[in-house]
Amino acid sequence: MIRKLACVFAAVVLLLLPGCNQSNVSPEEATSKLNSPYNTKAVLQYQDIKANLDMIKSEGRCEITFESPASLKDLTFDYTGDLVTVKYGKLSFSVEPDSMPGQAMSSLLISSLNSALNDRGVTLKQENSAIKVAGKTNGSEFELVLDRKNGNALSLNVPEDDLSLQFFNFSFIS
């Protein structure tokens, strides 16, 4: 189960594309600051797992900690460019992201992020108060919804992998 969740979190880290904090940002502006530090809470739905998460992203690092369910509370995934460290209580171990099961998902996510950064295979669309970033790589489609006013992430969906996240209390770290 931890390995499955690690793959899911790889998806979150690589697909969560924070925007910038200007008023009424354009789609291009919203995706231009993909590595901006932020913190957020999220509700994760992955297949039959529903969980509340706390996420903190800083330069070169993203830490995701379970707040619930009780069976996963305080389980932490700490991503640094070339390692994923899984922590639970006093136990911890580190592995290379590609050595974990779900390497195909990691590959999909890296491709999605690269597509977003390079404007290949990704569409940006303004709808009412949202900016929708959509793409398809390695056979899986994703949609990231950003707040048009400030670029904050609102939701992420990867339907083929039965993965969805709803973000709240999203804020950029100065």
Residue 26 sits at φ, ψ, to 5 deg, of: -80, 165
The Cβ of residue 110 has, within 10 Å, a number of other Cβ atoms equal to 16
Residue 118: which pLDDT band, with cuts at 50, 70 and 90?
low
Determine the pLDDT at residue 35.
Answer: 60
Q: What is the mean predicted confidence (pLDDT) over 130-144? A: 80
Phi, psi of 34 (to 5 degrees): -65, -20
Are the beta carbons of 98 and 6 closer than 8 angstroms? no
Backbone angles phi and psi of 25, in degrees to 5: -70, 150
Domain membership flag for residue 12: yes
Q: Does residue 174 sit within a domain?
A: no
Confidence band (pLDDT; 50, 70, 90) for 65? very high
Residue 110 belongs to some domain of the structure: yes
Determine, yes or no, domain membership for 173.
Answer: no
Query: Who wins on pLDDT, 69 or 36?
Result: 69
The answer to whether position 38 is within a domain reads yes
Q: Cα separation of 31 and 53, whole Å?
A: 23
pLDDT confidence of 52, banded at 50, 70, 90?
Answer: very high
pLDDT band for position 92 (cuts 50, 70, 90): very high
Q: What is the CATH number of the domain that holds 14?
A: 2.50.20.10
Q: Which residue spans within the chain are E strands per DSSP?
A: 38-46, 49-58, 61-68, 76-80, 83-88, 91-95, 122-127, 130-137, 140-147, 153-158, 163-172
Q: Per-residue pLDDT averaged across 104-114, rounded?
A: 40
Q: What is the mean pLDDT of residues 63-92?
A: 89
Close Cβ partners of 4 (under 8 Å, ≥ 6 residues apart): 46, 101, 102
Its pTM surpasses 0.85: no
Say if residue 141's pLDDT is above 90: no
Q: Is the pLDDT of residue 70 over 90?
A: yes
CA dist 100 → 84, 138, 164, 174 (Å): 9, 18, 21, 33
Domain that holds residue 39: 2-168
Domain count, the chain: 1
